Amino acid sequence: MRSMRENVEVVIIGAGPAGLTLANLLQRAGIGCVVLERQSRSYVEQRQRAGVLEHDGARVFEEWGLGESVLAGTSSDGRLEIRLDGRPRFFDVAALTDGRAGRVVPQQVLVQRLIATFVEGGGDLRFDAAEVTPHGLDGPAPAVTYTDADGGRHEIACAYVAGCDGFHGVSRASIPEGALTTYTYDHGVAWLTVLADALPPRHALFGIHPAGFAAQFARGPRASRFYLECGTADSLDEWGDERIWEQLRLRLGDPGLPTGPITEKLFVEMRCFVADPMSYGRLFLVGDAAHIITPMGGKGMNLAIADANVLARRLRAALREGDEGPLAAYSETCLKRVWDHQEFSRWMHEMMHEAGNVTLAGPFRRQLARARLERLFASDAAARAFADLMA
Ligand code: RFL
């Protein structure tokens, strides 16, 4: 068995939106990095999850000179629709935020483009890396070991490790117990999410209905992601295609809802998690490795990109200007945004669910949730505050 030892400035563990954004930004900054990904390239490129890149996320790519390669052909969607008991209400995010609005960028499209751009730029991206293990994180000379697809053992010495390997990754797990404070919250409901080759709605669509929450978002020109509130103990056997379409038609108030072949069905736990601090020694946690948030509000992928932007700038200061001060404050900076988005997502979750399904929190809370929703259409200040957080 051959064993190779290398040296690089930064090892990035994980090639999701967090790791790939960081890799591209470090490449632009002229900082050497290697990305180690457990899965194959095709697996990573097909993984369909999020679909909206916020205005600030798009700006990150533009500011680093990646606007053309990452955003070409994507369009911004400045409006959303909330159907309350089947009655449509439109909300113009772009008009309320002076043109700041998110873009429809399916996560797998973003990932494909980030991989292509990084590789074209000479980037070192290694798929099928097994047993990735960080070492010596609390000392001055960390390293990461892994096994390649042919069984070769590798050791990469580095100055810093970026843990971008998602919620179940090895990075956060390698931090000693007691070094992190973790916060968790469970919303007590679940969502069934369905990906279908069905014509998408013109705008992001949220349905509030006594039978439960539902939503439909574009995932490309001919694909939609649907969400259906369901019980936490539900099984896929209980959700045949027929029932899914019947419940979507009911909750979205659209008897003529375009249907199509369902290509994925899975349950999403409505669970939140935050680790504090988002670092340990020379390891920095980025994206889902440090925090997860429910899909309500579409913040998960955007937080990953925002973290990567902060970390790239601060690694550049440390490695090129010898200033480790900004890096030391990485976690504090990122956690402010994380908690702000967690608060917004929970606020929106409560409103969207409790205004519909009375069994969740009772009739009094149902009226409160409806009042909260009405305020968005009655008060310009409330509408602007909401749009600002959605943009
Ligand atoms: P990812 O995407 O999980 O990527 C982590 C990468 O690390 C790899 N990995 C390892 N590599 C090497 N060694 C190991 N030991 C490793 N362990 C793991 C993994 O294979 C993977 O490639 O995390 P990242 O980069 O932080 O990105 C986070 C986003 O993917 C996530 O927040 C969003 O997908 C969440 N999310 C949504 N976010 C939004 O902003 N808007 C949405 O509408 C939205 N919808 C969703 C979502 C997540 C979903 N699921 C299933 C979790 C819808 C769904 C269904």
Strands (E), the chain: 3-13, 33-36, 52-53, 79-84, 87-92, 103-104, 124-126, 130-135, 143-147, 153-163, 181-196, 204-208, 214-218, 224-230, 262-276, 279-280, 283-285, 291-292
Confidence at residue 48, expressed as pLDDT on a 0 to 100 scale: 87
Percent of the chain, pLDDT > 70? 99
Q: What pLDDT was estimated at residue 3?
A: 66
* 294-332 pLDDT tens trace: 999 999 999 999 999 999 999 999 999 999 999 999 999
Q: How many CA atoms lie within 13 A of 156 on its CB side?
A: 26
Residue in the block written with tokens 């929106």: 348
C-alpha of residue 78 to centroid of ligand 1, in Å = 25
Residue ranges lining ligand 1, Cβ < 6 Å:
13-19, 36-39, 44, 49-52, 107, 129, 132, 164-166, 169-170, 193, 268, 287-288, 295, 298-302, 304
Q: State the average pLDDT over residues 200-214.
A: 96
Given a contact cutoff of 8 angstroms between Cβ atoms, the answer to whether 160 and 282 are in contact is: yes
pLDDT at 1: 47
| Tokens representing residue 23 in the block | 């890799």
**Closest CA relative to residue 125, chosen from 57, 24, 4:** 24
pLDDT at res. 203: 92
pLDDT for 78 equals 85
15 CA: nearest ligand 1 atom:
22
In angstroms, what is the span from residue 362 Cα to ligand 1's centroid? 34
- The pLDDT, as a whole number, for residue 309 is 98
Q: Given the DSSP bridges, would you call strands 124-126 and 143-147 parallel, antiparallel or unpaired?
A: unpaired
Quote the ligand 1 centre to 16 CA distance (angstroms).
Answer: 6
Comparison of pLDDT for 24 and 78, the residue scoring more? 24
Task: For the chain, report the end-to-end CA distance as a whole number of angstroms.
Answer: 52
Q: Which pLDDT belongs to residue 75?
A: 82
Judge whether residue 198 has pLDDT over 80.
Answer: yes
Report strand pairing: 3-13 vs 143-147.
Answer: unpaired
């509030």: which residue's tokens? Answer: 208
| For the ranges 70-84, 87-101, 363-377, the one whose mean pLDDT is highest | 363-377
Taking residues 357-380, report their average pLDDT: 97
pLDDT at residue number 250: 97
Q: Regarding beta strands 283-285 and 279-280, do their DSSP bridges make them parallel or antiparallel, or are they unpaired?
A: antiparallel
Residue 243 pLDDT exceeds 80:
yes
- 76: confidence class by pLDDT, cuts 50, 70, 90: confident
Q: How far apart are CA 279 and CA 300, in angstroms?
A: 19
* Protein residue closest via CA to atom 37 of ligand 1: 50
Q: Which atom of ligand 1 is nearest to the CA of 307?
A: 26
For a ligand 1 pocket test, name from 36, 105, 107 the mutation site with the most ligand atoms within 8 angstroms of its C-beta: 107
- pLDDT category at 221 given cuts 50, 70, 90 is confident
Read off the pLDDT of each residue in 267-287 and give the average, rounded to a whole number. 97
Residue 161 pairs with which residues in a beta bridge? 11, 283
Of all protein residues, whose CA lies closest to atom 54 belonging to ligand 1? 49
Mean pLDDT of 226-231: 97
- For a ligand 1 pocket test, name from 49, 77, 132, 164 the mutation site with the most ligand atoms within 8 angstroms of its C-beta: 49
Average pLDDT over residues 145-159: 97
Q: Report the chain's mean pLDDT, rounded to a whole number.
A: 96
What percent of the chain has a predicted confidence (pLDDT) above 90?
Answer: 94
Mean predicted confidence (pLDDT) in 112-141: 98
